[in-house]
Structure 1
Amino acid sequence: MVNWVDWSHLPYDLVLFIANKLHSVEDFLAFSAVCHSWRLVYLNKSWTPSRQVPWLMLDENHTSEFIRGFFNIYKNKMHKLRLPEAHDRRCWGSSHGWLITIGHDLEIRLLNPITQASINLPPQSTFENRISVKVDWYVFIHRATVFKIQDELVTMAIYGNHSLAFCRPGDSLWTTVQISTYFLFINVVCYRNQVFALSIMGTLVLVEIDGPDPPRAIYMASPPKDEKHWQQIYLVESSRDLLMVFCYEANSAYRHKLVKFRVYKFDFDSREWTILESLGDCVLYVDDSHCTSGHAWDDFECNSIYFAQDNLDWWLTHAQKFVGYYMGVYRMKDKSTEIFCLGEDPPSHYISPIWVTPTLW
């Protein structure tokens, strides 16, 4: 006779101990589905997650329009999540688990793709100077991301003529950052509870969004003199350092672009950038608008940059066949690049692969 074990009768302290031996969000969700008593760990928010590896979100499945693919590079697994809230909407990712979405209705929301929780933000109509910029709805906001500043969610957006604005949940409108010098913003990051931004020329500025004065941008430093003609630039906090990442691309004769990176660390005392030859045991994750950092897990290649792109621009400009989404890894040690194809469905012209770090709360 088989003696079945009733797992629901385990002491709660033992269940909690087991739960906190789990590292990934998907493992913990499977754990919480075992029985009601185990799900209490989830409902009580008693699980202490380790730093999660970002998932790569792809376009909607063309055979089922509400399904989004999320590629977990740590487990080499594609998750199919039903996300009607993101249907036909442009999305940006973040390192805090939230997607920023905007659709034809011009409504802007935060969406957690794991829990499907959503937060309404002020609509596009509340941006300053929006009438002077006449573009399609999916072009008005160039980049957006979510930070946690003093444990409070702050959404930053680069919009229109590359102006910078922000809002918090509950705000009725977006607040534009005032500038005394004309900056065209291209990237923004939160570093030690302070906001820093890059201009399209690579100038670093400090963005003050709290205090007695109106939000403003203050010049900090010029870009490294040796860097020119870059394709993209990013700011990222990594191992408590502020880094600038330069991405260089060259069209190849076949399928994918050739991608190289150069990384600099900012010295706050001298206000100068220093070339960084190694990321140590860290990994960077880069998409079209965002860069995030993490420590290497198990078989992950440390001292590497994982980047996600598609050949959409090459496809539209040169009438070539769309060969799909792809992810690559750039190894800082030997400056080599390896490419992995993730799918071949033609995307919407305003959707590109993005990184989002899975979180539950």
Structure 2
Amino acid sequence: MSTSSSSIEQAESCSSWSQLPFDILEMVTKKFNSIEDLYSLGGVCSSWRSVALSIRKHKNKTLPWLMLTANYNHTHRDFFSVAENKIYRSNYPKAFYDCQCWGSPFGWLVTFAYDRQTFHLLNPFSPLSPRLPLPTLRTFPSPPDRSKTLLSLFITKAVVVVLHSHNLEESNHHDQFLVFAIYGLSKNLAYSRPGDKIWTGVTFKETTPSSSGGQLDIIHLNGQFYSVDSNGSIWLLCDVAANAPNPPTAIPFASPPPMNELLKTICGKSGKTISLLEMDAELHLAVRFQHRNTRKTLLIEIFKCDASTREWQKLTTLGDYALFLGTCTSISIKASDYSASICTPGCIYYCYDDYKNHAEIVPPDIGIIDVARREIEFLNVDDKRTYHFSAPAWVLPTLL
């Protein structure tokens, strides 16, 4: 009898933790100094998560984390914190097993499960947040033929866009998400929202994605959507809205910037990677040149597009900005919003992975570039990770 009573008391004691008054929890958690502690706190229950969100706004921001590579049978993903030089593990078995992942600046990941051919949006830093379903692989405008196409090669990149708010801590409306996917051998473009039944393809006017080398990246800037192809040409995406009167199309917006011709020759066609970025609400383009033999980064050039003339200016400094560039995700932040000890302005933190070249095992290329000095510091972040299944990706942790 005493054992039974003790068990009941323990159960009641455990359940009462979620009933603690908000002001008491808030008083205790204000003593936390680490943002990472708040992520652990927010995973306990919904009431503790609301406290963590409240305290989160008064703490220093955290830098993007690098989601490290993984094998197909991993039920977890490891994240490298640049600020703390430490690896954290997120256990999310049903979400990560047999899944390829792409990061975002909003904390949410896009996952693709090979066995079920399904896509989801999920937040690995907030287990209480729901997994948001996206349309299946078979609903793409040109779905892959499993007998001819490796599923791991079908989706080149997935990009998460927030339509109504750039700060997810101010809104928890999941209908604000839009996911773009670059797919197929021709690197076509399609998009969907959580709950949609199909992926909607984008038609490119005046030329085809294949003749332009296909699309490489997408960005949402000042209410407009832009993409960049492998030549560096910028496209303006039209009629992407939910109730647009016309089918979505893309029209030419800007010609490629004047890239380094010597490096283009040294690196070859496959040694160039292009990303789109936003700095001070203006469109920027990053061109990474990779050595064709060692596959190491040689240089990253940054260009700014003049919105009125649509001409490019090559930057020799990033000012107050720091960039996080990678195969799957690119993020720009203002260094002054962070502690000076953890974020250096004018630097590019990069991580590129040759995960689709199965002929040779090559660890991810990770380092920091000082743009003004044109100096590169290579980083050794657990370089034994040579899995090709899911590439490393930058993600900016949030609790929503």
TM-score by length of 1: 0.85
- Structure 1 or 2: larger helix share? 2
Q: Work out which of the residue numbers 184, 209, 231 in structure 2 matches 1:201.
A: 231
Q: Which moved more, 1:272-281 or 1:225-234?
A: 225-234
Q: What is aligned with 2:153?
A: 139
Q: What is aligned with 2:82?
A: 73
Q: What is aligned with 2:118?
A: 107
Q: What is aligned with 1:238?
A: 279
CA distances 1:83-137 after superposition (whole Å, capped 9, x unpaired): 3211221111111111111122211111211123311100010000225794111
- 8 A contact 2:327–2:353 mirrored in 1: no
Q: Work out which of the residue numbers 198, 219, 237 in structure 2 matches 1:189.
A: 219
Matches of 1:265 and 1:246, distance apart in 2: 12
Matches of 1:192 and 1:115, distance apart in 2: 29
Q: What is aligned with 1:95?
A: 105
Matches of 1:158 and 1:32, distance apart in 2: 33
Instruction: Name the SS for the 1:130 alignment partner.
Output: coil
- The answer to whether structure 1 residue 86 and structure 2 residue 129 are counterparts is no
Q: What is aligned with 2:367?
A: 328
Q: What is aligned with 1:149?
A: 163
Cα distance, 1:27 vs. partner? 3.1
Q: Which runs of 5+ in 1 are unaligned?
A: 1-6
Q: What is aligned with 1:337?
A: 376
Cα distance, 1:46 vs. partner? 7.0
Matches of 2:366 and 2:286, distance apart in 1: 17
Alpha-carbon distance change, 214 to 308 in structure 1, aligned in 2, over 3 angstroms: same
Over the aligned positions, Cα root-mean-square deviation in angstroms equals: 3.2
Q: What is aligned with 2:190?
A: 165
Matches of 1:350 and 1:34, distance apart in 2: 31
Q: Which moved more, 1:33-42 or 1:125-134?
A: 33-42
Instruction: Name the SS for the 1:201 alignment partner.
Output: coil
Matches of 2:196 and 2:376, distance apart in 1: 43
Instruction: Name the SS for the 1:29 alignment partner.
Output: helix
Cα distance, 1:353 vs. partner? 1.1
Alpha-carbon distance change, 75 to 265 in structure 1, aligned in 2, over 3 angstroms: same
Matches of 2:46 and 2:81, distance apart in 1: 27
Q: How many residues align?
A: 347
Percent same amino acid at aligned positions? 30
- Structure 1 or 2: larger strand share? 1
Cα distance, 1:348 vs. partner? 3.2
CA distances 1:167-202 after superposition (whole Å, capped 9, x unpaired): 011110000012222132111111123211001111
- The answer to whether structure 1 residue 302 and structure 2 residue 345 are counterparts is yes
- 8 A contact 1:325–1:341 mirrored in 2: no
Matches of 1:100 and 1:109, distance apart in 2: 6
CA distances 1:3-59 after superposition (whole Å, capped 9, x unpaired): xxxx999985586488679786413235668999866514x7674376541110112
